[in-house]
Amino acid sequence: MERSIVFFDLDGTLLNDEKQLNDSTKEAIAALKKQGHIVAIATGRAPFFFEHIRKELNIDTYVSYNGSYVVLEGEVVFTNPLNAEALQRLTDIALENDHAIVYMDHEDMRANVPDHERVTESITTLNIGMLPSHDPKYYQDRFIYQSLLFCAEGEEKPYESLVSAFDFVRWHPVSVDVLPSGGSKFKGIGKITEKLGIPLERQYAFGDALNDLQMLQGIPNSVAMGNGLQEAKDAAKWVTTSNNEDGIAHGLKLAGLL
The Cα-based distances of 157 to 100, 104, 164, 232 in angstroms read 16, 22, 11, 21
8 Å CB contact between 225 and 209? no
pTM, full prediction: 0.94
Return d(Cα 173, Cα 180) in angstroms, integer. Answer: 21
Q: What is the pLDDT of residue 137?
A: 96
Q: What is the pLDDT of residue 227?
A: 98
Q: What is the pLDDT of residue 151?
A: 97
Residue 53: what residue type? I
Range(s) within the chain of domains with CATH label 3.40.50.1000: 5-79+183-254
* pLDDT (tens digit per residue) in 159-189: 999 999 999 999 999 999 999 999 999 999 9
Q: What strands, in cross-sheet order, belong to the sheet with 75-79?
A: 75-79, 69-72, 62-64, 38-42, 5-8, 203-207, 221-224, 238-239
Catalytic residue (one of 9, 105, 167, 246): 9
Q: Name 103's Cβ contacts closer than 8 Å, sequence gap at least 6.
A: 87, 109, 110, 111, 112, 135, 138, 139, 144, 147
**pLDDT-based confidence at 47, cuts 50/70/90?**
very high
Range(s) within the chain of domains with CATH label 3.30.1240.10: 84-180
Indicate the DSSP class of residue 144.
-
The CATH class of the 5-79+183-254 domain is: alpha beta
Task: Please return the burial class of 81, using the count of CB atoms within 10 Å of its CB with bins 0-12, 13-18 and 19+.
Answer: middle
Verify whether residue 17 is a known catalytic residue: no
* pLDDT (tens digit per residue) in 200-245: 999 999 999 999 999 999 999 999 999 999 999 999 999 999 999 9
The Cα-based distances of 156 to 102, 149, 160, 202, 251 in angstroms read 15, 8, 7, 37, 34
Start-end of H helices in the chain: 23-34, 51-57, 84-96, 117-124, 157-162, 185-196, 213-218, 230-235, 247-254
Return d(Cα 107, Cα 14) in angstroms, integer. Answer: 23
Three-class DSSP labels, 192-258: HHHHHCCCHHHEEEEECCHHHHHHHHHCCEEEECCCCCHHHHHHCCEECCCCCCCHHHHHHHHCCCC
* pLDDT (tens digit per residue) in 73-132: 999 999 999 999 999 999 999 999 999 999 999 999 999 999 999 999 999 999 999 999
Q: What is the pLDDT of residue 1?
A: 62
Which fold does the domain 84-180 belong to in CATH?
A: 3.30.1240
* pLDDT (tens digit per residue) in 21-45: 999 999 999 999 999 999 999 999 9
**pLDDT-based confidence at 2, cuts 50/70/90?**
confident
Return d(Cα 10, Cα 41) in angstroms, integer. Answer: 7
**pLDDT-based confidence at 65, cuts 50/70/90?**
very high
* pLDDT (tens digit per residue) in 122-159: 999 999 999 999 999 999 999 999 999 999 999 999 99
Residue 255: what residue type? A
